Amino acid sequence: MTPFGDAMRELRRRKGVTQRTLAEAIGVTPAYLSALEHGRRGRPTFELLQRIAGYFNVIWDEAEELFRIAEASHPRVVLDTTGLPASYTAFANRLAQQIRTLPPDMIEEFDQRLKKARSSG
């Protein structure tokens, strides 16, 4: 699952819309929409995001949030550590190997530390 998949599922739930109904309305197959929601597909295109926002008639702030979430939802992430110290590359590789086994509280802790580093840097 991706953050975008979670957001789409919640939006559909709030509006009482099935995957099939939404898929038909925005011009994709139900299988594609399901794969998108479950993180088996990459980020949706900007055009598709616009169709989704238009279908649900969401206000600009909510549409902007949906676009931001979509941007952070690519299920296959590539980290470029070119030019960084070897310890950064080693860390990125360990994270890639172990991320599936990390408990949710550890992910939350990493996330909070990254947010703190971003705001102080």
What SS3 class is residue 54? helix
Higher pLDDT pick, 83 / 2: 83
With 70 as the cut, is the pLDDT of residue 121 above it? no
The pTM for the full model equals 0.68
Read off the pLDDT of residues 27-61 as tens digits, 9 standing for 90 and up.
999 999 999 999 888 789 999 999 999 999 988 88
In the predicted model, what is the mean pLDDT of residues 10-14? 92
Helix or strand (DSSP H, E) at 12: helix 3-15
Q: Token digits for 28? A: 């994709």
Measured CA to CA, the distance from residue 8 to residue 70 in angstroms comes to 10
Read off the pLDDT of residues 79-108 as tens digits, 9 standing for 90 and up.
899 999 999 999 999 999 999 999 999 999
SS3 string, 67-118, reads HHHHHCCCCCCCCCCCCCCHHHHHHHHHHHHHHHHCCHHHHHHHHHHHHHHH
